[in-house]
Amino acid sequence: MKNGKTIQKRKNVEKCEKGLFGQLHLSAVGNWPAAQKHPVLWPVAWLRQIGRWIRTAARVLSRGSRSKEEIKTGREKNEFFSRLGIK
């Protein structure tokens, strides 16, 4: 009967590999070795991965607004130095 359970697990994993949920599953289980060994931890791994995605997105978004500010400040400094005749 063990073969039947193994085949069922493979079918479940194949179903999970499709779409956004599949990407979430593969990333979550791939990033956490304990979830690879213990499928019961998969829901916790999914939540961890969603948190990682949110944290990464927040970092990128905050970096973007800072970059705009830094570019604006740099332009202002360049204009100021140009008016003073300093290169």
Domain count, the chain: 1
- Which of these, 27, 15, 20, 19, lies nearest to 51 by C-alpha position? 27
Instruction: Indicate the pTM of the whole model.
Output: 0.52
Instruction: Please give the residue range of the domain that contains residue 41.
Output: 2-84
pLDDT per residue over 12-39, tens digit each? 655 556 677 888 888 888 888 888 899 9
pLDDT per residue over 35-87, tens digit each? 889 999 999 999 999 999 899 888 878 776 667 788 888 889 889 888 888 76
- What span, in angstroms and rounded, lies between the C-alpha atoms of 26 and 42? 10
